[in-house]
Amino acid sequence: MEGTRIQKVSRELQRSFAEIIRNKGMAAFDGAMVTVSGVRVSPDLSIAYIHVSIFPSEKAEKVMGILKENTKALRGELGNKVGKQLRIIPEISFFLDSSLDYVAHIEELLKK
C-alpha cells in the first residue's frame, strides 16, 4: 500500500523527469523516443525507480546505457525542478518498461 504522500511525490517526479527527457530531445538518445512510463518511490523517499519505454526497442540497450551514464547529471536537473517541493532529491535508478514490445507481440499474434 502506497501512502498519499508517496503517490504525490511519484507523480511529481514522473512529470518533472518526463519534461527533462522531452527537453533533451531524441538526438541525446541516439534518435530513440524515450517515454517515462512510471515512477515508483521507496517508502522513505530516498530512491526513485524510473521506468522508461524506448522506441524503437532495438535501441533500448544503448539508450539505457546513456541514461545510466548520465544518472548524476539527470538527478541534478531533477533537483533543480523539484528542489522546492522535496527536502531530499532521491537517488534515481532506471528500468526498462517492455510493455510496448508486449503490445506489438500481441498485435502480431492477432494478425495471424
pLDDT the model gives residue 98: 79
Q: Domain spans of the chain?
A: 4-111
pLDDT at 1 over 60: no
pLDDT the model gives residue 102: 79
pLDDT the model gives residue 16: 96
Cell of 92: 534515481
- pTM for the predicted model, two decimal places: 0.85
The string of pLDDT tens digits covering residues 11-64 is 999 999 999 999 999 899 989 999 999 999 999 999 999 999 998 888 999 999
pLDDT the model gives residue 57: 83
Which residues does residue 47 pair with via DSSP β-bridges, in sequence order?
91
Q: Dihedral angle at the C-alpha atoms of 58, 73, 85, 42, nearest 10 degrees? A: 60
CB 109 within 8 A of CB 65: no
Q: At what angle do helices 4-24 and 71-82 cross, to 10 degrees?
A: 120
The string of pLDDT tens digits covering residues 59-101 is 999 999 999 999 999 999 999 999 899 889 999 999 998 777 7
Q: How far is 60 from 76, CA to CA, in rounded Å?
A: 23
CATH for the stretch 4-111: 3.30.300.20
